[in-house]
Each structure stands twice: as structure tokens, then as C-alpha cells.
Chain A
Amino acid sequence: MADSLRVGDEDPRGLTRGARVELTFDEVSIEAYAGESIAAALLAADVRAMRRTRRHEAPRGLFCGIGACHDCLVRVDGSAPVRACLTPVRDGMAVTTHVLGEGGPS
């Protein structure tokens, strides 16, 4: 895809991604590459909202990108919430939107 967010040959580092993997986000299938963070994979699939806030259920997504802000919390295979920016994708993982303050750990 020409307008992909993934940088291709333009990357001066000569980047080669890891193996292709498949995951789901809220049950929709997404393709990604081993080594990518969940946040990067979602972004490349045009997903911007990763969780909803507790008070106003407002959508939130990747913000600080380095694990400080916790705005990109998602659930993986029904787990307690994890930071999408720090968590690498895994083939077959089921990622879901996290609604903060609802339900707690499954």
C-alpha cells in the first residue's frame, strides 16, 4: 500500500521487519510484523482509539509512545490491561479495547 504508515525503502537504516503475524483487535483481523508493538500495528491498520475513559468513555490512543502516559492501555487475550506501546505483537493474540475502571481483571 503506497500510503502505508510503515516506512519502506525510505528508511535510511535499511530496515527489514520481522516475520508476518496476525492478530485481532476487537475481533477484526490485523496483519503485523514480529517485533512491532501493538500500538504500531493498530496505527498501521488505521486504528487510533485503543481504550475508552472511565468518566466520559472518551476514546484515547497512543500518546507518549514510551510507556509513561498509559493512555494506550488495551487488553490482550482477556488479560489485565497492558500498554500497547510497550507490548510486542504475537501471532494469534486477541487485543480488545479497554474501558478503564470497568470490570477489572477478568
Chain B
Amino acid sequence: MTDHDVIVIGSGVVGASCAYELALAGRRVLVVDRGNLTSGTTASGEGNVLVSDKPPGPELDLARASVSRWADYAAELSEGFEYEPKGGVVIATDDASRAGLVDLVSRHRDVGVSAQLLDADGLREAEPHLAHDLDLGALYPDDAQVQPVLASSALLADARRLGAEVRSGNEVLGFSFDSDGRVAAVRTTEGTFGAGAVVNAAGPWSSALARLAGTDLPVRPRRGHLLVTAPVGRLVHHKVYEAGYVDTLTADTSEAQVSAVVESTPSGTILLGSSRELVDFDTTVDLDVVRRIAQRARRLFPILAEVDLLRIYVGFRPWVPDHLPIIGEDPQVRGLWHATGHEGAGIGLAPATGQLIRAGITDTPPPVDPLPFRVARPSLMAAAAARTAHG
């Protein structure tokens, strides 16, 4: 009953990249999604492909591998996805973030990441509409942007051309195992599909999926709001965000953390983020959070006051306690691979994640050291132990 070599669960950008990379390696892939294609986290993201927000360490390594793979995708995929290698500009908006930014730039340069401090004139040249009192920033030429849904659908389209099958509206109900306890099939609302390996790319829903397979993942939804303006043209030339953004990434509270991320898109709209709050799967738009995001964004670009707000997206990032993606085979359930926990960096980190999964399943050399991302790592074990103690 091995209809497929690999079943990928989740058609967001991480699942799509896994499917494409595995299909490239000649594997017969089935992608299933319980909802519409690419309708979860990926559909409410900004499309960040960033190195600038990651301090030196394993996540930065994964990001750098991904940045280069995104450039490959832009050249080789049949469909476009608004890939823009336009660079990022990080702004210090208060005294506290100035020292941190100078330090981060220096550490980035030490490991070979292109980064350059900008003074008031440099900022003005990079972003003419920035508030005039801002006088310290950093330019990261390797930061890029993609349109997330187009990127996912382009990956899925080429995976299909390579023989993959994609089924939406197909919910996973459970798993079947062989006599050795290895995953052998996935039971879904549209029937049972056999496969030698299963990839859990269900993003914030991946812990619920893991439970169906009898294992445990410490992934929780971290809610975010994203604002989109009417088309106004290129008011913003880079991905621009305030340095405080990097701190909100690791401030794990249920109260909303807000910091400004502002960028134009090829469609002429401007995206305004971001907020982070651990409040479960609550899709309610919080108008206070929306106002705070708008205020932070206007602090950077006062001109935005006159621009119309057109859309708000509420989405859920797959959060993990140690802020590092989980990529690798489950130590308890052989044949079940996890590709999740990317939090807000899933778009940026998807290509190298797909490559890591491909390398693991096909037993070929990985693009980066997979060890820091393994499921059974000490920092996750510690969090799990703490949870058990509290529970």
C-alpha cells in the first residue's frame, strides 16, 4: 500500500518547499491539506526573507542557506512569486535600541553577513520618506521579500509537474503503523494513503497533528496582525523595521508585543506589521493592536497618515519555546518527520527546511548542520520537562 514515497501534511510554504525538494529528488509525493491550499499561516504573512533579524547561530545559518535557495527558486520555478532581493533597513527608534543595533551589526559582520550602519543622511538616501528625527539604522542588502501565497503555489505547481499529487480539503484523521512501529499510512477524510515517510508541515497546528501520531511537539500559535494599505506606489524601498522588533521575537507574553515592520510590494500596497501574542487560535481582529501597529508605522513614515488602510490579516505563527525551528525525524515515531516551529520566519526559512527534509529522507548531504533543529534537543526537552512539572 505504498502509493507514495512521502506524504507532506500542510500546503503552506514549508510543506510546499518540502514537496518540491522531494519531488526534485525523484520521490513520489502527496501533499494533503485539510483546508484550502495555502490558506493558513502562509496566507497571512508578509513574505519576510530575512538574515538581519537573526543573531549569529544555527537559525542564521538556515536563513543564509534559504536566501540563496530563494534566488534559485526565482530563476528555476515556472511561475513567478514577486521575488524582490531589495535589502532591509533596521532603524533604531530609541536609545535602548541604538547600542543593540551597533552591536548586532558588528556581530553580523564578524560572521560574514553584509551589514552597514547608516547615519541620518544614509537613512534619508535609502528611505526618503522616513521621519526626519531618525538618525541611526543599518542596511542589510541580503534581506529579501516574496509574495508568500504565490511562492507556495509556484512550488506546488512545479512539484505537480514533477509528479506530485496535491489534495486540498483532505483532513488527516490518524496514522497507521507497521509491525516495527514505523508510520506506514495516513488515514484522511478522503481515504487512507500509504507512504514510507510522512512530513508534518502543519505549522501552528503541527502539535495537534503530532498527537494524532502519538507523539508530542511543544508548538503553540502566536497570533499576529498584518495591515495592508491601498496601492500608493513605492513609498518604501526596502523592508524597513525598528530595531526593537528583534526583542519582540523572544518576549513570550500573552500581551501583544508591537513593533513596526513596513514595506512596499510590487502591487503598490504597503504592508504594516507586526504584533505577537500568545492567545491561542483566536481570529478576532483586535482594533487596539491595529491602532498600535499603525502608530508605530507612522512613527517611521509619517506620510502613512494619509494612506488608506484596506485589509487586515490575522494569522498564527508556529511558536516554540526555544525559538528554533523543529526539523527532523521524530525519535519516538520513526518515519514521521517534522518541519515546523519557524514562528514568523517560515517564509524565509522554508527552502533550506525543504532541503534538510529532503536530505534526511533521501540520506544525502544536508545544506546546513541539522543537529540544532532536531526534535530531541536539550532546550526543548527542558521546556517539555518544565511543562510536565507545572501540569
| A contacts B: CB pair < 8 Å | yes
Stretch of A12-20, A34-42, A98-106 contacting B (4+ beta carbons < 8 Å): A98-106
Within 8 A of A (CB), among B289-334: 303, 306-308
Count of residues in B whose CB is under 8 Å from the partner chain:
9
The answer on a CB contact under 8 Å between A105 and B303 is: yes
The answer on a CB contact under 8 Å between A101 and B307 is: no
Once A54-B231, A100-B231 are accepted as A-B contacts, the answer to whether A105 and B268 lie under 8 Å apart by CB is no
Convert A73-106 into 0s and 1s, putting 1 for each residue whose CB lies closer than 8 angstroms to a CB of B: 0000001100000000000000000001111110
Convert B228-244 into 0s and 1s, putting 1 for each residue whose CB lies closer than 8 angstroms to a CB of A: 00011101000000000
A102 to B231, CA, bound (A): 8
The answer on a CB contact under 8 Å between B307 and A105 is: yes
A80 to B235, CA, bound (A): 14
- CB neighbours (8 Å) of A101 from chain B are 231-233, 268
The answer on a CB contact under 8 Å between B268 and A80 is: no
Complex: chain B residue closest to A70, CB-CB: B230
Count of residues in A whose CB is under 8 Å from the partner chain:
9
A105 to B233, CA, bound (A): 10
Distance in angstroms from A68 CB to nearest chain B CB is: 14
A103 to B231, CA, bound (A): 10
A54 to B231, CA, bound (A): 8
Complex: chain A residue closest to B270, CB-CB: A104
- CB neighbours (8 Å) of A80 from chain B are 306-308
A105 to B268, CA, bound (A): 13
Distance in angstroms from A51 CB to nearest chain B CB is: 12
A105 to B235, CA, bound (A): 9
Main secondary structure of the interface of B (DSSP, over half): loop
Complex: chain B residue closest to A104, CB-CB: B232
Distance in angstroms from A74 CB to nearest chain B CB is: 15
Complex: chain B residue closest to A73, CB-CB: B230
- CB neighbours (8 Å) of B308 from chain A are 80
A100 to B269, CA, bound (A): 11
Distance in angstroms from A17 CB to nearest chain B CB is: 31
Complex: chain A residue closest to B269, CB-CB: A101
The answer on a CB contact under 8 Å between A102 and B306 is: no
The answer on a CB contact under 8 Å between B306 and A105 is: yes
A79 to B308, CA, bound (A): 13
The answer on a CB contact under 8 Å between B233 and A102 is: yes
- CB neighbours (8 Å) of B307 from chain A are 80, 104-105
Within 8 A of A (CB), among B85-117: none
A103 to B233, CA, bound (A): 6
- CB neighbours (8 Å) of A105 from chain B are 232, 303, 306-307
A100 to B268, CA, bound (A): 9
A101 to B231, CA, bound (A): 5
A80 to B231, CA, bound (A): 12
Within 8 A of B (CB), among A23-39: none
Complex: chain B residue closest to A99, CB-CB: B233
Complex: chain A residue closest to B236, CB-CB: A104
A80 to B306, CA, bound (A): 6
- CB neighbours (8 Å) of A104 from chain B are 232-233, 235, 303, 306-307
Distance in angstroms from A22 CB to nearest chain B CB is: 26
Complex: chain A residue closest to B232, CB-CB: A104
- CB neighbours (8 Å) of B306 from chain A are 79-80, 104-105
A44 to B268, CA, bound (A): 32
Within 8 A of A (CB), among B237-279: 268
Convert B208-245 into 0s and 1s, putting 1 for each residue whose CB lies closer than 8 angstroms to a CB of A: 00000000000000000000000111010000000000
A23 to B308, CA, bound (A): 26
Residue of A54, A79, A104, A105 ringed by the most chain B CB atoms within 10 A: A104
- CB neighbours (8 Å) of B232 from chain A are 101, 103-105
A18 to B306, CA, bound (A): 31
Additional A-B contact list (15), CB under 8 Å, known A101-B231, A104-B307:
A54-B231, A54-B233, A54-B268, A80-B306, A80-B308, A100-B268, A101-B233, A101-B268, A103-B233, A104-B232, A104-B235, A104-B306, A105-B232, A105-B306, A105-B307
Q: What are 17 A-B pairs with beta-carbon distances under 8 A? A: A54-B231, A54-B233, A79-B306, A80-B306, A80-B307, A80-B308, A100-B231, A100-B268, A101-B231, A101-B268, A102-B233, A103-B233, A104-B233, A104-B235, A105-B303, A105-B306, A105-B307
List of 8 A-B pairs having minimum Cβ-Cβ separation, nearest first: A101-B268, A105-B306, A104-B232, A80-B306, A101-B231, A101-B233, A104-B235, A102-B233
> Which residues of A are in contact with B by a Cβ distance under 8 Å?
54, 79-80, 100-105
> Which residues of B are in contact with A by a Cβ distance under 8 Å?
231-233, 235, 268, 303, 306-308
